[in-house]
Amino acid sequence: MKLRHLLLSVIIAAAVPSALAAGKNDSAMIVAEEALRVAEDAGDTTALIGVNSSLGVYLRTQGKLDEALKHYNAALKMCTTEAFKRKAGEEARQEAAVLYLNLATLHVDMKHKNEALYYARLSENWGAKCADKELKSQLFAQNGLIFMMCGDDASASRLLSSAYGLAAETGRHGAALSAAAYMVALSDRKGDAKAEALWRGRCRRIEVKVSDTMTLMAYYQILCGVEMNHGRWREAITLFDKILSLDGVEGMPFVVYDCYNNMHEAWARLGEWRKAYDCLGKAAALKDSLYEKDKAESLGDLTVKYQTKEKELALVNSEARLLRTRMYMAVAALVVLVCAVLVSLYVHSQRRKAREREAEFARLKADTDRRLTMRYIDGLETERERLAKELHDGVCNDLYTVELLLAANPLQASRKGTDGEPSENVDAAQGSLSAVEGLGGTSSAGKMLAACREQVRRVSHELMPPEFKYADISMVLDDYIGRMAAAAGCEVVFTAVPDTADWTAVPDAAALEIYRIAQEAVANAVKHSGAHHVDVTLAEDGGDVILTIADDGEPAKTRGAGIGRRTMRQRAEAVGGRLTMERRDGKTIVQFIIHNS
């Protein structure tokens, strides 16, 4: 039940900022109240901080400052505890950084510079602890603007530079351009011409990669302000022309009016009176149309609502003029506020995307590793089968021919084949016959060749994969260990437990890898470690098949043994098993465990 509450609280917390951004105020309040209840029931501190922070932003935009402060204070109480600071994970750090950014924005709007700087520094500290580079870029950019608006140019420069670097690193060219543009304005304000030139160059390189109209418009407006302040009128006019050429700007009449109004002043300063007059006429026409429409709508509403309230009408007109005056002063603060809401939305969406990316990457990596391992193992089996056939059909037959020749007339056979001509097998064996004759006769040589042929035949049979449809893994291992014990110079013992185990239930693919791993481990013990005794055990325990090979030899240090160990590990991974090798009580123990599903 607690897990269900936690999941529900996260879902609701993510839905609150989305509803607010869509302007669904009533829906947002209903969802937020439910989110608070569920998060409180589940004791989910991170979700509670996020919901309270989002509600603070919403109530602040509605002018309900007292209610907004209650939610901000509730979130602050949870963020400032020692337990939260000590145990905060990635999501909790992000929520804390966004909360303090919202509080800094609130104090900027209220002209409380010291408080704004205090909360901006807290937001910066929490943001620095976050791992998400895109989120850090947005947090640093917004906090940099707050420092810039409050007069802390050093902190603003540090954060805006970091925001630019992170945005460029993550390929967010629009965010990088905005940060670089503010650095141009900041460098200009500090009188640092070298830094200003550096940031202008970066802006020019990024500008060609950005197509978003709002980002480009904000960038050009920042540069226009710098150029106008320094009386660089032609450069300012060029930038105003760029703004007017942006896609969709014709649907922003206030922006167009501002461009023509400033261009009129610039042309007049340059003495280009005709162009100044044209721009002034365009600005005047836009102003008349904008304000006439605004006036007509306002008077219509006032006539319907307040026909008998002349004094209240005068008061409303006065407040309207005051609001227009304050509007220009609050533009920067509102921009920061909107960005804070966007950051909140971004945090919740990025969490979900990060989880999906991590899960997809894990699946892809596991599938790739499994395919590559299986391809390698299949290649080994193919090569084993090829070598087995060559040994059996080639070397064994050649040795048998030599043995027959020795049993007959070796001197005559060494010169002629059965048809009077030198045979291929005779030619291949003649050098060996000459050497054998010098060692004391054909009888002992024939025995040596027979033993050699039998050993090659045994090796070729070991290389071939076993036929599990005629025998189970226990029978195959018992047969192999019996043959190995007869050929090896040490004692090799095989045991299968329990006696009642049904070894036919082991899949063929798993059985083949058990057989190959047993072959490799026993061969390593016999050939490389100098063991005197080797125990091979096949056991079944609770659905797991366990193969154990223990020998009393010294650990192998040869190149061949190292390749064998790596091959065993790859075979174990190919079928989802686990292979361990350890040295214990004077013995080398190799153990392979696979679940028999």
What share of the chain has pLDDT > 90, as a percent?
17
**CB-CB contact of 181 with 218 (8 Å):** yes
What's the pLDDT band for 524 if we cut at 50, 70, 90? confident
Helix spans in 249-307 (H): 253-269, 273-305
Indicate the length of the chain as a whole number: 597
The three-state secondary structure class of 74 is helix
Query: Does the pLDDT value for residue 311 go beyond 90?
Result: no
Q: What are the φ and ψ backbone dihedral angles of 541, each rounded to 5 degrees?
A: -145, 105
Task: Determine the Cα–Cα distance for residues 361 and 355; give it in Å rounded to an integer.
Answer: 10
| Mean per-residue pLDDT over the chain, rounded | 76
Q: What angle, rounded to 10 degrees, do the helices at 90-109 and 133-149 form?
A: 20
Show Cβ contacts of residue 157 under 8 Å, excluding neighbours closer than 6 positions: 144, 183, 186, 187, 190
What was the pLDDT predicted at 252? 84
Q: What is the pLDDT of residues 37-74, one digit of tens each?
A: 777 777 778 878 887 887 777 777 777 888 888 888 98
Query: Does the pLDDT value for residue 535 go beyond 90?
Result: yes
Q: What are the φ and ψ backbone dihedral angles of 22, each rounded to 5 degrees?
A: -80, 0
Listed range (194-208, 209-223, 511-525, 560-574) with the worst mean pLDDT: 560-574
Q: Is the pTM here over 0.95, yes or no?
A: no
Long-range contacts of 399-406 (CB under 8 A, 24+ apart): 399/449, 399/452, 399/453, 399/456, 400/453, 401/425, 401/426, 401/429, 402/429, 402/432, 402/433, 402/449, 403/446, 403/449, 403/450, 403/453, 405/429, 405/433, 406/433, 406/436, 406/442, 406/445, 406/446, 406/449
What share of the chain has pLDDT > 70, as a percent?
64
What was the pLDDT predicted at 592? 95
Q: Would you give the DSSP letter of residue 208?
A: T
Task: Determine the Cα–Cα distance for residues 223 and 226; give it in Å rounded to an integer.
Answer: 5
Q: What is the pLDDT of residues 171-194, one digit of tens each?
A: 999 899 999 999 999 999 889 999
Dihedral sign (CA 76, 79, 82, 85)? negative
Strand-pair partners of 545: 540, 594
